[in-house]
Amino acid sequence: MDSRLVPLHAMLRLHTRLFLNCFDEVSDETARLRPNEDTSSMAFIALHMHDSRHYMAKFLGLEESNPFEPITASAQSIEEIEIYPSLAEMRTAWLEVTAAVDRGFQELDGETISQPPSVTDFEFPIEDKSMLGGLGFLLHHEAYHIGQLALLRRFHRLPAMSLQV
């Protein structure tokens, strides 16, 4: 693995653990509750993070099928999601896509990460247009949503998210 990827790879692993920790002691029912009509539910954010992690797999050149794509593919807003997978299903799928992304990270070389990515269907709002810059942005995006999940835990009167394994 190129040394420039080491801190990003560490963030990938941290985000993987924190995503799972956000759902400790959370029921499927609680995960679907919205604080108000202008705020997302934990379940919706989890689905979005799955979409993003699968996009990261695609960004790395991997072909990983997203089991929740039939649920999210045509939805433009939370109101359009009619059914949610269970948290158990989301945990399992999260670990599966993460295993693929982890392998993808380890296979990258310095030349590849210095070049623009082959996936060009979305332009990130950053100056560094290389694959390395894109991976940094995607991991920042995950961190943002983990923060939302941690806040929603507290809203639902659950203990603060654990940082432990």
39-86 pLDDT, tens per residue? 999 999 999 999 999 999 999 999 999 999 999 888 888 998 989 999
What's residue 163's pLDDT?
82
Residue 103 lies in a domain: yes
Residue 53 lies in a domain: yes
What's residue 68's pLDDT?
95
Q: Mean pLDDT of all residues in the chain? A: 93
Residue 164 lies in a domain: no
Distances (CA, A) of 35 to 25, 63, 151: 18, 36, 11
Record the pTM: 0.93
Please state the domain count of the chain.
1
DSSP result, 33-82: --SSTTS--HHHHHHHHHHHHHHHHHHTT-----TTHHHHTT-SSGGG--
What's residue 1's pLDDT?
82
What's residue 92's pLDDT?
97
User: What share of the chain in percent tops pLDDT 90?
Assistant: 81
CATH label of the domain that carries residue 57: 1.20.120.450
Which residues does 137 contact at the CB level (< 8 Å), separation at least 6? Answer: 124, 125, 126
147-164 pLDDT, tens per residue? 999 999 999 999 998 887
Residue 160 lies in a domain: no
DSSP result, 102-161: HHHHHH--HHHHHSPPS--SS--SSS--SHHHHHHHHHHHHHHHHHHHHHHHHHTTPPPP
What's residue 10's pLDDT?
96
Buried b or exposed e, range 55-64, using 16+ CB within 10 angstroms: bbbbbbeeeb
Asked whether residue 120 carries a pLDDT value surpassing 90, the answer given is no
Report the pLDDT averaged over residues 121-141.
91
| Residue 26 structural domain | 3-155
Residue 163 lies in a domain: no
Residue 14 lies in a domain: yes
Q: In the 8-state DSSP scheme, what is residue 23?
A: T
Residue 161 lies in a domain: no
Residue 33 lies in a domain: yes
